[in-house]
């Protein structure tokens, strides 16, 4: 299936949505990424990643109740789907697996 591969930013956003459960929406995701990863993203970039992930069916969404801080507008709340959770696990597993195969020598830096 096309789209099982996660981009770096996609993975980051996907993780953040998981962290923020059940209050993950555009601005919150943007704030969280800035806080945790120190990366300042534009809101429109976050939006486009979120919609892309939703298209890949890794995220699902629903509209929240209206809030005052947004001038009476609703938020779109994003939730991880089963596929999303699986792809996060796969990515995580792949990394650990790969990491563990690195020879010890390669990680021993000698500061000369």
Residues of the shown chain interacting with other proteins in the complex, contacts defined by CB under 8 A: 25-27, 42-45, 47-48, 51, 63, 69-71, 73-76
Question: What is the C-alpha to C-alpha distance for residues 72 and 39, in angstroms, rounded to an integer?
Answer: 29
- Output 72 or 103, the one with its CB closest to other proteins: 72
Which of 41, 48, 53, 42 is CA-nearest to residue 15? 53
DSSP letter string, 3-46 = T-SPPHHHHHHHHHHHHTTT---HHHHHHHHHHHH-----HHHH
Closest distance between other proteins and the C-beta of residue 40, in Å?
12
- Output 19 or 43, the one with its CB closest to other proteins: 43
Closest distance between other proteins and the C-beta of residue 86, in Å?
26
Closest distance between other proteins and the C-beta of residue 44, in Å?
4
Closest distance between other proteins and the C-beta of residue 28, in Å?
9
Q: CB neighbours of 63 closer than 8 A, spacing ≥ 6? A: 74, 75, 76, 77
- Output 4 or 63, the one with its CB closest to other proteins: 63
């Amino acid at each position: 299936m096309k789209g099982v591969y996660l981009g770096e930013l996609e993975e980051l956003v996907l993780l953040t949505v998981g962290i923020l459960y059940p209050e993950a929406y555009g601005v919150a995701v943007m704030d969280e990424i800035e806080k945790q990863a120190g990366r300042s993203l534009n809101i429109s970039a976050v939006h486009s990643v979120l919609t892309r992930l939703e298209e890949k069916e890794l995220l699902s969404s629903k509209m929240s109740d209206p809030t005052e801080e947004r001038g009476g507008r609703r938020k779109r709340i994003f939730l991880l789907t089963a596929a999303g959770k699986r792809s996060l696990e796969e990515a995580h597993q792949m990394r650990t697996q790969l990491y563990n195969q690195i020879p010890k020598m390669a990680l021993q830096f000698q500061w000369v």
